[in-house]
Amino acid sequence: MSTYNNNLNWRYATKKVSEKDLEALKEAIQLSASSYGLQPYKVIIVSDQETKEKLKPVAWNQSQITDASHIVIFASINNFGEDHINDFIKNVSETRDLAIENLQGYSDLMKNSLMPLPEDIRNIWSAKQTYIALGNLLSAAADLKIDTCPMEGFEADKFADILGLKELGLTPSVIAPIGYRSEEDETQHYKKVRKSTEELFINI
């Protein structure tokens, strides 16, 4: 665990990623936990520089958008519903070689839990799930010595327009530029500033 924590401490907000490492990061995101295992989101990875240039103005002109080699965008699924649950159950059936009939109870449990919720509440639930996947990305990137910068500072509606996400029923919720640190970036030598353990934790 000490090595893991040391790697987390190494991570700092920056910028330039090999295909091998990118595939490792994608696998870490894919393996992320989510409510019921439903993964109610899509992950868009932008490496095209022209697209990044279009995104920068609607991300408050933050330099990470164009400096990073990739932008990972977590977009929640709008109005997550029964069809999505049915697709998940089909996947479980095929992956585990189980009859769909044997999964009916699990399917009903999820539908009875989620479907009575108003659409706006389900959308909030979907968006929250993306942060679990984001956490996995940040940890995996730190383990690979890849820099990340989680960001909420962007105009989600305009991001969706530029990337054509509205037509796909998706809403960007959080983004993370990723890349290898620049040797010229002096911020890599800065000490991390965090709350003390006494201030941060409440033991009951």
- Entry pTM: 0.88
pLDDT tens column, 3-31: 666 555 544 434 469 999 999 999 999 99
For the cut 50, the answer to whether the pLDDT of residue 204 exceeds it is yes
Residue with tokens 């929250």: 128
Sign of CA dihedral 88, 23, 3, 12: negative
- Residues whose CB falls within 8 Å of the CB of residue 101, separated by 6 or more in sequence, listed in order: none
- pLDDT of 188: 61
For the cut 80, the answer to whether the pLDDT of residue 59 exceeds it is yes
- pLDDT of 191: 80
Closest CA to 150 of 158, 159, 139: 139
Give the Cα separation of 45 and 120 in Å (integer). Answer: 26
Give the Cα separation of 133 and 86 in Å (integer). Answer: 22
- pLDDT of 12: 43
pLDDT tens column, 22-55: 999 999 999 999 999 999 999 999 999 999 999 9
- pLDDT of 14: 41
Q: Which domains does the chain have, with CATH numbers?
A: 2-22+39-180 (3.40.109.10)
pLDDT tens column, 148-195: 999 999 999 999 999 999 999 999 999 999 997 665 555 565 787 899
φ, ψ (nearest 5 deg) of residue 173: -115, -35
Helix, strand, coil % (nearest 5) of the chain? 55, 15, 30
